[in-house]
Amino acid sequence: MHYRRLGNSGLKVSALGLGTNAFGKRADYEASKQIIHSAIDNGINFIDTANIYAATESEKIIGQVLEGQRQHVVLATKAGLVRGAGVNERGSSRFHLQTELEQSLKRLKTDYIDLYQIHTFDPETPLEETLRALEDMVRSGKVRYIGASNYFAWELMKALGISDRLGINRFVSTQVSYSLADRTPENELVPMCLDQGVGIIPYFPLAGGILSGKYSAAEQAPEGSRAQTDPSFQRFIDTKTIALGENVAKLAGQLDCTPSVLSLAWLMHQPIVSTVIVGATKVEQLKENLKSVSLQLTADTEEELQKISRPFRTGEPFAWYRLP
């Protein structure tokens, strides 16, 4: 396994991280347990979850599985998206964040969170309030590093400026949809993060399966695929994305690897990327994804991938989670 610094911090994270959105939904406790153990055994130390994943079941499962092994992982979770119908059950106010942190700590059966991330920008809460609340969490020892997610470049830059002015901890990372099928972060967010020393953690690195080569037509979505389970996902399945998937698959065949492995390896070769989080519902998927860590890309391969994915630098982001 290769390890990288998380942004400009001194924290080292595995190039491949484990996403746990499926835990408690498409992966039951036993399957999730096997995946976590396999991840740790193979050198993955970054595990990412959130307070809303599977209605809190993801955090609960991770907490149970990690008992006795907590010190071997960098544990990341998030808060800020809607948790309930109450007026204060959303956003990044001090009130909501402190409540959610305490509940996450209980579910995760731990005294501290290595990376506590704001799940999305809250337009109704002053950034200074959010950042001071996070600073207090760090000073208390309950949080070690702080990160953002789903922030526009200007929102993230504003937050960093406030932290610098106040002399408090800055966001060391940000999560965003980033893949060969969604290169929109390269327009503003990537240059800003390179300048400010903020690490990017891509989510949807396989664009919901588009880059796995499984789609040949929108009306022929594979059984159990995201296009079948999420009707809104159909908007991404068109001739352009299908062609991209086919081109990536063709190039992967020449390199004797799967399209998924090639797509993950491309992200890992981007200097701004700290770790790539990929979910799994069974150990076999995780072991296949691990091959991306050791895949070396030649200059010609990188140039070809840049070429076939260039149209995806424009248009709408593949995913973007904001408060309603």
Q: 75: part of which helix (H) or strand (E)?
A: strand 74-79
Residue 63 CA to residue 108 CA, distance in Å, equals 4
Is 53 part of the annotated catalytic residue set?
A: yes
Place of tokens 């907590």: 70
Beta bridge partners of residue 115, listed in sequence order: 76, 145
- Helix residue spans in the chain (DSSP H): 29-41, 57-65, 94-108, 127-140, 153-166, 189-196, 226-229, 239-254, 259-268, 283-289, 291-294, 299-309
Length of the chain as a residue count: 324
Query: Which of the following is catalytic: 29, 53, 112, 151?
Result: 53
Per-residue b or e along 302-311, where b marks 16 or more CB atoms closer than 10 Å to that residue's CB: eebbeebbee
Count of other CB atoms within 10 angstroms of residue 84: 8
The DSSP code for 207 is G
The answer to whether 39 and 47 have CB atoms below 8 angstroms apart is yes
Question: Residue 69 is encoded by which pair of tokens?
Answer: 């092994």
Sheet holding 143-149, edge to edge: 199-203, 171-177, 143-149, 113-118, 74-79, 46-48, 16-19, 276-279
Burial 36-68 (b: 16+ CB within 10 A, else e): bebbbeeebbbbbbbbbbbebbbbbbbbebbee
How far apart CA 303 and CA 228 sit, in angstroms, is 33
Q: Is the dihedral of CA 269, 271, 275, 280 positive or negative?
A: negative
Report, as residue numbers or ranges, the catalytic residues.
53
